Amino acid sequence: MNTVVINMAGNIWKILVKPGDAVEKGQEVAILESMKMEIPIVAETDGTVKEIKMSEGDFADEGEVLLELQ
């Protein structure tokens, strides 16, 4: 099982995918808001979104799992 993790602490501003969506390596899957900047969160591998672990507006710490790919 592959995961997409948060690369720095911040608020989940927007989630760009939903369960069942196919994603490609390098594709933006969410946007994190931190220090008034928008930081894209990208998939590091190809896969299909199995489960999203967070919601828009949630605070996420660096290293937390955003979503699982299969």
Looking at residue 23, its pLDDT comes to: 98
pTM for the structure as a whole: 0.90
Looking at residue 64, its pLDDT comes to: 97
Per-residue pLDDT in tens (0 to 9) along the chain, 70 residues: 799 999 999 999 999 999 999 999 999 999 999 999 999 999 999 999 999 999 999 999 999 999 999 9
- Structural domains in the chain, sorted by start: 2-69 (2.40.50.100)
Looking at residue 67, its pLDDT comes to: 97
The encoded tokens of residue 68 equal 């699982």
Strands of the sheet containing 47-52, edge to edge, are 2-5, 65-69, 47-52, 22-23
